Structure 1
Amino acid sequence: MNSVLNEYKTIAIQGLWKNNPGLVQLLGLCPLLAVTATLTNALGLGLATMAVLIGSNVLVSLVKFYVPREIRIPVFVMIIAALVTCVQLLINAYAYGLYLSLGIFLPLIVTNCVIIGRAEAFASRNSLLKSAFDGFMMGLGFLLVLAVLGASREILGQGTLFEGADLLLGDWAASLTIHLWQVDTNFLLAMLPPGAFIGMGFLIAFKNIVDKQIADRSTTPAVTETVTRARITKVS
Protein backbone atom coordinates (compact mmCIF):
# COMPACT_ATOMS: atom_id res chain seq x y z
CA MET A 1 0.00 0.00 0.00
CA ASN A 2 2.78 2.41 0.97
CA SER A 3 4.67 1.66 -2.25
CA VAL A 4 1.58 2.51 -4.32
CA LEU A 5 1.09 5.78 -2.44
CA ASN A 6 4.76 6.62 -2.91
CA GLU A 7 4.41 6.03 -6.65
CA TYR A 8 1.47 8.42 -6.89
CA LYS A 9 3.29 10.93 -4.67
CA THR A 10 6.27 10.78 -7.02
CA ILE A 11 4.02 11.33 -10.04
CA ALA A 12 2.44 14.34 -8.33
CA ILE A 13 5.80 15.89 -7.41
CA GLN A 14 7.12 15.32 -10.93
CA GLY A 15 4.14 17.04 -12.54
CA LEU A 16 3.86 19.95 -10.13
CA TRP A 17 7.52 20.73 -9.51
CA LYS A 18 10.47 18.52 -10.50
CA ASN A 19 9.39 17.93 -14.10
CA ASN A 20 6.92 20.76 -14.55
CA PRO A 21 6.12 21.15 -18.28
CA GLY A 22 6.43 24.94 -18.24
CA LEU A 23 9.34 25.49 -15.84
CA VAL A 24 11.55 22.44 -16.40
CA GLN A 25 10.68 20.84 -19.74
CA LEU A 26 10.00 24.29 -21.26
CA LEU A 27 7.36 22.80 -23.54
CA GLY A 28 4.26 24.52 -24.87
CA LEU A 29 5.90 27.92 -24.57
CA CYS A 30 4.29 29.38 -27.69
CA PRO A 31 0.70 29.45 -26.34
CA LEU A 32 1.98 29.94 -22.80
CA LEU A 33 3.64 33.22 -23.74
CA ALA A 34 1.02 34.37 -26.23
CA VAL A 35 -2.30 34.04 -24.39
CA THR A 36 -1.36 34.72 -20.76
CA ALA A 37 -2.02 38.45 -20.94
CA THR A 38 -4.95 37.87 -18.57
CA LEU A 39 -5.71 35.30 -15.91
CA THR A 40 -8.94 34.31 -17.67
CA ASN A 41 -7.16 33.38 -20.88
CA ALA A 42 -4.50 31.51 -18.91
CA LEU A 43 -7.11 29.47 -17.02
CA GLY A 44 -9.04 28.74 -20.22
CA LEU A 45 -6.00 27.43 -22.08
CA GLY A 46 -4.74 25.59 -19.00
CA LEU A 47 -8.03 23.77 -18.42
CA ALA A 48 -8.29 22.85 -22.10
CA THR A 49 -4.73 21.47 -22.08
CA MET A 50 -5.39 19.54 -18.87
CA ALA A 51 -8.53 17.95 -20.34
CA VAL A 52 -6.62 16.85 -23.45
CA LEU A 53 -3.71 15.55 -21.35
CA ILE A 54 -5.96 13.41 -19.16
CA GLY A 55 -8.01 12.14 -22.10
CA SER A 56 -4.99 11.31 -24.26
CA ASN A 57 -3.19 9.52 -21.43
CA VAL A 58 -6.28 7.45 -20.67
CA LEU A 59 -6.90 6.49 -24.31
CA VAL A 60 -3.26 5.74 -25.03
CA SER A 61 -3.08 3.55 -21.93
CA LEU A 62 -6.16 1.66 -23.12
CA VAL A 63 -4.94 1.00 -26.68
CA LYS A 64 -1.20 0.58 -26.04
CA PHE A 65 -1.33 -3.22 -26.44
CA TYR A 66 -3.21 -3.02 -29.74
CA VAL A 67 -1.02 -0.47 -31.54
CA PRO A 68 2.14 -1.70 -33.32
CA ARG A 69 5.25 0.19 -32.27
CA GLU A 70 5.93 1.23 -35.86
CA ILE A 71 2.80 3.40 -36.03
CA ARG A 72 2.30 4.34 -32.39
CA ILE A 73 3.25 8.03 -32.83
CA PRO A 74 0.76 8.67 -35.69
CA VAL A 75 -1.95 6.88 -33.69
CA PHE A 76 -1.18 8.98 -30.61
CA VAL A 77 -1.32 12.17 -32.68
CA MET A 78 -4.69 11.11 -34.11
CA ILE A 79 -6.04 10.53 -30.59
CA ILE A 80 -4.77 13.91 -29.42
CA ALA A 81 -6.17 15.68 -32.49
CA ALA A 82 -9.60 14.11 -31.95
CA LEU A 83 -9.63 15.18 -28.29
CA VAL A 84 -8.51 18.72 -29.15
CA THR A 85 -11.30 18.96 -31.71
CA CYS A 86 -13.85 17.87 -29.09
CA VAL A 87 -12.54 20.41 -26.57
CA GLN A 88 -12.50 23.13 -29.21
CA LEU A 89 -16.10 22.44 -30.19
CA LEU A 90 -17.21 22.45 -26.54
CA ILE A 91 -15.53 25.81 -25.88
CA ASN A 92 -17.00 27.16 -29.11
CA ALA A 93 -20.46 26.10 -27.97
CA TYR A 94 -20.38 27.10 -24.30
CA ALA A 95 -17.69 29.81 -24.06
CA TYR A 96 -17.64 31.50 -27.44
CA GLY A 97 -15.96 34.65 -26.13
CA LEU A 98 -13.10 32.61 -24.73
CA TYR A 99 -12.94 30.66 -28.00
CA LEU A 100 -12.40 33.92 -29.90
CA SER A 101 -9.89 35.15 -27.34
CA LEU A 102 -7.71 32.02 -27.48
CA GLY A 103 -7.89 31.96 -31.27
CA ILE A 104 -5.42 29.78 -33.13
CA PHE A 105 -3.69 28.69 -29.94
CA LEU A 106 -6.60 26.42 -29.02
CA PRO A 107 -6.21 24.02 -31.98
CA LEU A 108 -2.43 24.31 -31.61
CA ILE A 109 -2.74 22.20 -28.45
CA VAL A 110 -2.40 19.29 -30.90
CA THR A 111 1.25 20.25 -31.44
CA ASN A 112 1.98 20.73 -27.73
CA CYS A 113 4.98 18.51 -27.03
CA VAL A 114 3.85 18.05 -23.42
CA ILE A 115 0.90 15.93 -24.52
CA ILE A 116 2.62 13.72 -27.09
CA GLY A 117 5.59 13.42 -24.73
CA ARG A 118 3.49 12.11 -21.83
CA ALA A 119 1.60 9.77 -24.14
CA GLU A 120 4.86 8.26 -25.39
CA ALA A 121 6.95 8.36 -22.21
CA PHE A 122 4.34 7.48 -19.58
CA ALA A 123 0.86 6.48 -20.75
CA SER A 124 2.12 3.88 -23.23
CA ARG A 125 4.01 2.14 -20.42
CA ASN A 126 1.77 2.40 -17.37
CA SER A 127 -1.68 1.46 -16.11
CA LEU A 128 -4.88 3.38 -16.72
CA LEU A 129 -5.10 4.98 -13.27
CA LYS A 130 -1.46 6.02 -13.20
CA SER A 131 -1.74 7.46 -16.69
CA ALA A 132 -4.85 9.45 -15.79
CA PHE A 133 -3.20 10.74 -12.61
CA ASP A 134 -0.04 11.66 -14.52
CA GLY A 135 -2.12 13.58 -17.07
CA PHE A 136 -3.94 15.41 -14.29
CA MET A 137 -0.74 16.37 -12.45
CA MET A 138 1.14 17.43 -15.57
CA GLY A 139 -1.89 19.44 -16.66
CA LEU A 140 -2.22 20.99 -13.21
CA GLY A 141 1.45 21.93 -13.17
CA PHE A 142 1.10 23.57 -16.58
CA LEU A 143 -2.12 25.30 -15.47
CA LEU A 144 -0.46 26.74 -12.35
CA VAL A 145 2.39 28.22 -14.40
CA LEU A 146 -0.13 29.72 -16.82
CA ALA A 147 -2.21 31.12 -13.95
CA VAL A 148 0.73 32.71 -12.11
CA LEU A 149 2.10 34.22 -15.31
CA GLY A 150 -1.32 35.42 -16.46
CA ALA A 151 -2.21 36.93 -13.08
CA SER A 152 1.11 38.77 -12.74
CA ARG A 153 0.94 40.15 -16.30
CA GLU A 154 -2.66 41.28 -15.87
CA ILE A 155 -1.95 42.98 -12.55
CA LEU A 156 1.14 44.78 -13.83
CA GLY A 157 -0.31 45.55 -17.24
CA GLN A 158 -3.78 46.86 -16.45
CA GLY A 159 -4.22 46.77 -12.68
CA THR A 160 -7.02 44.18 -12.72
CA LEU A 161 -7.55 40.52 -11.93
CA PHE A 162 -10.09 38.17 -13.54
CA GLU A 163 -10.80 40.67 -16.31
CA GLY A 164 -13.16 38.94 -18.74
CA ALA A 165 -14.05 36.15 -16.32
CA ASP A 166 -17.49 36.07 -17.97
CA LEU A 167 -15.83 34.68 -21.10
CA LEU A 168 -14.91 31.56 -19.16
CA LEU A 169 -17.68 31.21 -16.59
CA GLY A 170 -20.67 33.03 -18.10
CA ASP A 171 -22.35 36.40 -17.67
CA TRP A 172 -22.69 36.03 -13.88
CA ALA A 173 -18.89 36.07 -13.54
CA ALA A 174 -18.55 39.63 -14.84
CA SER A 175 -18.74 40.81 -11.23
CA LEU A 176 -15.64 38.78 -10.33
CA THR A 177 -13.32 41.33 -11.93
CA ILE A 178 -11.11 42.94 -9.29
CA HIS A 179 -9.77 46.46 -9.95
CA LEU A 180 -6.59 46.74 -7.90
CA TRP A 181 -5.71 50.23 -9.12
CA GLN A 182 -6.72 52.64 -11.84
CA VAL A 183 -4.36 52.99 -14.78
CA ASP A 184 -4.65 55.60 -17.51
CA THR A 185 -2.48 53.66 -19.94
CA ASN A 186 -1.77 49.92 -19.90
CA PHE A 187 1.80 48.83 -19.21
CA LEU A 188 2.44 47.38 -22.67
CA LEU A 189 5.65 45.54 -21.76
CA ALA A 190 3.69 43.33 -19.38
CA MET A 191 0.84 42.80 -21.83
CA LEU A 192 2.97 41.89 -24.87
CA PRO A 193 4.98 38.66 -25.42
CA PRO A 194 8.33 40.20 -24.33
CA GLY A 195 6.80 40.72 -20.89
CA ALA A 196 5.82 37.04 -20.86
CA PHE A 197 9.44 36.08 -21.59
CA ILE A 198 10.63 38.24 -18.68
CA GLY A 199 7.97 36.78 -16.38
CA MET A 200 8.93 33.22 -17.34
CA GLY A 201 12.54 34.08 -16.61
CA PHE A 202 11.63 35.20 -13.09
CA LEU A 203 9.55 32.05 -12.49
CA ILE A 204 12.34 29.76 -13.66
CA ALA A 205 14.87 31.69 -11.55
CA PHE A 206 12.61 31.37 -8.50
CA LYS A 207 12.34 27.61 -9.00
CA ASN A 208 16.09 27.26 -9.38
CA ILE A 209 16.67 29.20 -6.16
CA VAL A 210 14.21 27.02 -4.25
CA ASP A 211 15.76 23.84 -5.68
CA LYS A 212 19.23 25.02 -4.68
CA GLN A 213 18.12 25.77 -1.12
CA ILE A 214 16.49 22.34 -0.86
CA ALA A 215 19.65 20.68 -2.18
CA ASP A 216 21.84 22.63 0.26
CA ARG A 217 19.64 21.62 3.20
CA SER A 218 19.74 17.97 2.21
CA THR A 219 23.54 17.92 1.85
CA THR A 220 24.33 19.87 5.03
CA PRO A 221 23.51 17.01 7.48
CA ALA A 222 25.59 14.59 5.41
CA VAL A 223 28.58 16.97 5.38
CA THR A 224 28.24 17.59 9.13
CA GLU A 225 28.16 13.86 9.82
CA THR A 226 31.24 13.28 7.67
CA VAL A 227 33.18 16.06 9.44
CA THR A 228 32.15 14.71 12.85
CA ARG A 229 33.31 11.20 11.96
CA ALA A 230 36.61 12.57 10.68
CA ARG A 231 37.20 14.45 13.93
CA ILE A 232 36.38 11.39 16.02
CA THR A 233 38.76 9.26 13.95
CA LYS A 234 41.49 11.88 14.28
CA VAL A 235 41.08 12.07 18.06
CA SER A 236 41.12 8.29 18.34
Structure 2
Amino acid sequence: MSKYTERLYNGIIKENPTFVMMLGMCPTLAVTTSAINGIGMGLSTTVVLVLSNMLISMLRKIIPDSVRMPAFIVVVASFVTMVQFLLQGFVPSLYSSLGIYIPLIVVNCIILGRAESYASKNPVMPSIFDGIGMGLGFTFGLTCIGVVRELIGAGKVFGLQIMPDAYEPVTIFILAPGAFLVLAFLVAARNKIMNNMEKKGKEVVRAKGCAEGGCGSCSGCDGKVFPTGQEKE
Protein backbone atom coordinates (compact mmCIF):
# COMPACT_ATOMS: atom_id res chain seq x y z
CA MET A 1 0.00 0.00 0.00
CA SER A 2 1.49 3.33 -1.06
CA LYS A 3 1.79 6.25 1.33
CA TYR A 4 -1.02 8.14 -0.40
CA THR A 5 -3.37 5.15 -0.47
CA GLU A 6 -2.60 4.50 3.17
CA ARG A 7 -3.64 8.06 4.06
CA LEU A 8 -6.96 7.59 2.24
CA TYR A 9 -7.60 4.22 3.91
CA ASN A 10 -6.68 5.67 7.27
CA GLY A 11 -9.19 8.53 7.00
CA ILE A 12 -12.09 6.59 5.49
CA ILE A 13 -11.82 3.26 7.33
CA LYS A 14 -9.15 2.84 9.99
CA GLU A 15 -9.47 6.20 11.77
CA ASN A 16 -12.80 7.45 10.47
CA PRO A 17 -13.37 10.75 12.30
CA THR A 18 -17.07 10.07 12.85
CA PHE A 19 -17.28 6.36 13.67
CA VAL A 20 -13.85 5.74 15.20
CA MET A 21 -12.33 8.94 16.57
CA MET A 22 -15.68 10.57 17.42
CA LEU A 23 -14.56 14.01 16.26
CA GLY A 24 -16.75 16.82 14.96
CA MET A 25 -19.79 15.61 16.89
CA CYS A 26 -21.46 19.05 16.91
CA PRO A 27 -22.16 19.23 13.13
CA THR A 28 -22.52 15.44 12.97
CA LEU A 29 -25.51 15.45 15.29
CA ALA A 30 -26.94 18.84 14.33
CA VAL A 31 -27.05 18.96 10.52
CA THR A 32 -27.69 15.33 9.58
CA THR A 33 -31.47 15.64 9.55
CA SER A 34 -31.20 14.85 5.83
CA ALA A 35 -28.69 13.15 3.57
CA ILE A 36 -28.13 16.26 1.44
CA ASN A 37 -27.20 18.26 4.53
CA GLY A 38 -24.71 15.56 5.51
CA ILE A 39 -23.05 15.60 2.09
CA GLY A 40 -23.01 19.39 2.00
CA MET A 41 -21.37 19.74 5.41
CA GLY A 42 -18.97 16.88 4.72
CA LEU A 43 -17.77 18.22 1.38
CA SER A 44 -17.47 21.76 2.73
CA THR A 45 -15.31 20.47 5.56
CA THR A 46 -13.28 18.36 3.10
CA VAL A 47 -12.45 21.40 0.96
CA VAL A 48 -11.33 23.39 4.00
CA LEU A 49 -9.41 20.40 5.36
CA VAL A 50 -7.49 19.77 2.12
CA LEU A 51 -6.63 23.42 1.50
CA SER A 52 -5.62 24.14 5.10
CA ASN A 53 -3.50 20.98 5.27
CA MET A 54 -1.77 21.99 2.05
CA LEU A 55 -1.00 25.55 3.14
CA ILE A 56 0.02 24.63 6.68
CA SER A 57 2.35 21.94 5.34
CA MET A 58 3.91 24.47 2.97
CA LEU A 59 4.42 26.94 5.84
CA ARG A 60 5.38 24.39 8.50
CA LYS A 61 9.03 25.51 8.60
CA ILE A 62 8.12 29.20 8.64
CA ILE A 63 5.41 29.40 11.32
CA PRO A 64 7.03 29.88 14.77
CA ASP A 65 6.03 27.37 17.43
CA SER A 66 4.95 30.17 19.77
CA VAL A 67 2.12 31.23 17.43
CA ARG A 68 1.43 27.88 15.82
CA MET A 69 -2.22 27.47 16.84
CA PRO A 70 -3.27 31.09 16.15
CA ALA A 71 -1.66 30.81 12.72
CA PHE A 72 -3.53 27.58 12.02
CA ILE A 73 -6.83 29.20 13.00
CA VAL A 74 -6.18 32.17 10.69
CA VAL A 75 -5.46 29.82 7.78
CA VAL A 76 -8.56 27.71 8.45
CA ALA A 77 -10.79 30.77 8.97
CA SER A 78 -9.69 32.21 5.62
CA PHE A 79 -10.69 29.07 3.72
CA VAL A 80 -13.94 28.73 5.67
CA THR A 81 -14.89 32.29 4.70
CA MET A 82 -14.26 31.46 1.02
CA VAL A 83 -16.40 28.32 1.24
CA GLN A 84 -19.14 30.23 3.05
CA PHE A 85 -19.31 32.88 0.33
CA LEU A 86 -19.33 30.23 -2.42
CA LEU A 87 -22.19 28.33 -0.77
CA GLN A 88 -24.13 31.53 -0.19
CA GLY A 89 -23.71 32.57 -3.80
CA PHE A 90 -24.19 29.26 -5.64
CA VAL A 91 -26.10 26.94 -3.27
CA PRO A 92 -28.24 29.28 -1.15
CA SER A 93 -30.68 26.54 -0.08
CA LEU A 94 -27.86 24.43 1.36
CA TYR A 95 -26.31 27.52 2.90
CA SER A 96 -29.58 28.26 4.69
CA SER A 97 -29.93 24.65 5.88
CA LEU A 98 -26.44 24.47 7.35
CA GLY A 99 -26.66 27.95 8.88
CA ILE A 100 -24.26 28.72 11.72
CA TYR A 101 -22.48 25.38 11.34
CA ILE A 102 -20.59 26.62 8.27
CA PRO A 103 -18.55 29.29 10.11
CA LEU A 104 -18.16 26.84 13.01
CA ILE A 105 -15.99 24.71 10.70
CA VAL A 106 -13.19 27.03 11.85
CA VAL A 107 -13.12 25.35 15.25
CA ASN A 108 -13.88 21.84 14.01
CA CYS A 109 -11.47 19.62 15.94
CA ILE A 110 -10.90 17.42 12.88
CA ILE A 111 -9.32 20.29 10.94
CA LEU A 112 -7.22 21.68 13.78
CA GLY A 113 -6.29 18.17 14.89
CA ARG A 114 -4.98 17.14 11.45
CA ALA A 115 -3.17 20.46 11.08
CA GLU A 116 -1.40 19.95 14.41
CA SER A 117 -0.75 16.21 14.28
CA TYR A 118 -0.01 15.67 10.57
CA ALA A 119 0.18 18.67 8.22
CA SER A 120 2.60 20.62 10.42
CA LYS A 121 5.00 17.65 10.45
CA ASN A 122 4.79 16.21 6.93
CA PRO A 123 5.35 17.23 3.27
CA VAL A 124 2.64 18.76 1.11
CA MET A 125 1.39 15.78 -0.93
CA PRO A 126 0.91 13.36 1.99
CA SER A 127 -0.83 16.18 3.88
CA ILE A 128 -3.20 16.76 0.95
CA PHE A 129 -4.10 13.06 0.80
CA ASP A 130 -4.49 13.00 4.56
CA GLY A 131 -7.00 15.83 4.23
CA ILE A 132 -8.83 14.05 1.41
CA GLY A 133 -9.01 10.81 3.40
CA MET A 134 -10.23 12.43 6.60
CA GLY A 135 -12.65 14.65 4.70
CA LEU A 136 -14.15 11.75 2.74
CA GLY A 137 -14.39 9.72 5.94
CA PHE A 138 -16.25 12.60 7.61
CA THR A 139 -18.52 13.01 4.57
CA PHE A 140 -19.25 9.29 4.51
CA GLY A 141 -20.14 9.30 8.19
CA LEU A 142 -22.45 12.31 7.95
CA THR A 143 -24.13 10.97 4.82
CA CYS A 144 -24.80 7.56 6.39
CA ILE A 145 -26.34 9.18 9.46
CA GLY A 146 -28.36 11.57 7.31
CA VAL A 147 -29.68 8.77 5.09
CA VAL A 148 -30.87 6.68 8.04
CA ARG A 149 -32.43 9.63 9.88
CA GLU A 150 -34.19 10.96 6.79
CA LEU A 151 -35.41 7.52 5.70
CA ILE A 152 -36.89 6.55 9.08
CA GLY A 153 -37.90 10.04 10.16
CA ALA A 154 -39.46 11.25 6.92
CA GLY A 155 -39.67 8.25 4.58
CA LYS A 156 -37.37 10.00 2.09
CA VAL A 157 -33.75 9.90 0.93
CA PHE A 158 -32.24 12.97 -0.75
CA GLY A 159 -35.74 14.42 -0.82
CA LEU A 160 -37.15 11.51 -2.85
CA GLN A 161 -40.07 9.55 -1.41
CA ILE A 162 -38.87 6.00 -0.68
CA MET A 163 -41.37 4.62 1.79
CA PRO A 164 -44.96 3.93 0.69
CA ASP A 165 -47.65 6.50 1.38
CA ALA A 166 -49.00 4.38 4.24
CA TYR A 167 -45.69 4.62 6.10
CA GLU A 168 -45.89 6.58 9.34
CA PRO A 169 -42.60 8.49 9.85
CA VAL A 170 -40.86 8.06 13.20
CA THR A 171 -40.25 11.76 13.80
CA ILE A 172 -37.92 11.20 16.75
CA PHE A 173 -35.21 10.28 14.24
CA ILE A 174 -35.10 13.78 12.79
CA LEU A 175 -34.90 15.25 16.29
CA ALA A 176 -31.84 15.45 18.54
CA PRO A 177 -32.38 12.08 20.32
CA GLY A 178 -32.59 10.34 16.95
CA ALA A 179 -29.12 11.56 16.03
CA PHE A 180 -27.60 9.87 19.07
CA LEU A 181 -29.51 6.64 18.41
CA VAL A 182 -28.47 6.43 14.77
CA LEU A 183 -24.84 7.25 15.57
CA ALA A 184 -24.74 4.56 18.26
CA PHE A 185 -26.21 1.87 15.98
CA LEU A 186 -23.92 2.76 13.05
CA VAL A 187 -20.83 2.71 15.28
CA ALA A 188 -21.89 -0.69 16.63
CA ALA A 189 -22.46 -2.00 13.09
CA ARG A 190 -19.07 -0.70 11.94
CA ASN A 191 -17.31 -2.34 14.88
CA LYS A 192 -19.12 -5.63 14.26
CA ILE A 193 -18.10 -5.67 10.59
CA MET A 194 -14.47 -4.80 11.35
CA ASN A 195 -14.28 -7.46 14.09
CA ASN A 196 -15.65 -10.10 11.70
CA MET A 197 -13.11 -9.12 9.05
CA GLU A 198 -10.29 -9.31 11.59
CA LYS A 199 -11.42 -12.77 12.72
CA LYS A 200 -11.52 -14.03 9.14
CA GLY A 201 -8.01 -12.66 8.61
CA LYS A 202 -6.76 -14.49 11.69
CA GLU A 203 -8.36 -17.72 10.52
CA VAL A 204 -6.54 -17.45 7.19
CA VAL A 205 -3.22 -16.91 8.99
CA ARG A 206 -3.87 -19.87 11.27
CA ALA A 207 -4.63 -22.05 8.26
CA LYS A 208 -1.41 -21.06 6.55
CA GLY A 209 0.74 -21.17 9.70
CA CYS A 210 3.79 -19.06 10.36
CA ALA A 211 6.70 -18.51 8.02
CA GLU A 212 9.70 -20.80 8.42
CA GLY A 213 11.81 -18.01 9.85
CA GLY A 214 9.28 -17.16 12.56
CA CYS A 215 7.51 -13.85 13.07
CA GLY A 216 10.64 -11.93 12.17
CA SER A 217 10.34 -13.01 8.53
CA CYS A 218 6.57 -12.80 8.25
CA SER A 219 4.26 -9.80 7.86
CA GLY A 220 1.06 -11.83 7.69
CA CYS A 221 -0.41 -11.04 11.08
CA ASP A 222 2.08 -8.59 12.62
CA GLY A 223 2.27 -10.75 15.72
CA LYS A 224 -1.49 -10.49 16.41
CA VAL A 225 -2.20 -14.20 16.00
CA PHE A 226 1.12 -15.72 17.02
CA PRO A 227 3.02 -13.27 19.27
CA THR A 228 6.79 -13.28 18.92
CA GLY A 229 8.21 -16.31 20.70
CA GLN A 230 4.94 -18.26 20.38
CA GLU A 231 5.05 -19.17 16.72
CA LYS A 232 2.99 -22.09 15.55
CA GLU A 233 4.93 -25.35 15.54
TM-score (norm 1): 0.84
2:179 corresponds to 1:193 = no
Amino acid at match of 1:126: N
Amino acid at match of 2:138: F
Counterpart of 2:142 in structure 1 is 146
Secondary structure of the corresponding residue to residue 181 of structure 1: coil
2:155 corresponds to 1:159 = yes
Amino acid at match of 2:52: S
Q: CA distance change for structure 1 residues 107 and 183 in 2, over 3 Å: closer, same or farther?
A: farther
Q: Within 2, Cα distance between the matches of 1:183 and 1:9?
A: 46
Query: How far is 1:97 from its partner?
Result: 1.4
2:81 corresponds to 1:101 = no
Query: Retained in 2: the 8 A contact 1:160–1:181?
Result: no
Task: Give 1:20's match in structure 2, choosing from 16, 20, 40.
Answer: 16
Task: Give 1:75's match in structure 2, choosing from 71, 75, 87.
Answer: 71
Q: CA distance change for structure 1 residues 190 and 8 in 2, over 3 Å: closer, same or farther?
A: same
Q: Within 1, Cα distance between the matches of 2:89 and 2:164?
A: 34
Task: Give 1:182's match in structure 2, choosing from 165, 173, 196.
Answer: 165
2:187 corresponds to 1:204 = yes
Structure 1: gaps of 5 or more residues: 164-176
Amino acid at match of 2:190: K
1:113-167 CA-partner distances (Å, limit 9, x unpaired): 000011111111111111111101110010011111111111111111112xxxx
2:69 corresponds to 1:86 = no
TM-score (norm 2): 0.85
Q: Within 2, Cα distance between the matches of 1:20 and 1:101?
A: 25
Q: Following superposition, which runs of at least 4 residues in structure 1 exceed 6 angstroms of deviation?
A: none
Q: Within 1, Cα distance between the matches of 2:98 and 2:204?
A: 49
* Structure with a larger share of its residues in helix: 1
Q: Within 1, Cα distance between the matches of 2:99 and 2:155?
A: 24
What does 1:118-133 align with in structure 2 at a 5 Å threshold?
118-133=114-129
When structure 1 is superposed on structure 2, of 5-14 and 98-107 the one drifting more is: 5-14
Query: Retained in 2: the 8 A contact 1:53–1:135?
Result: yes
Counterpart of 2:61 in structure 1 is 65
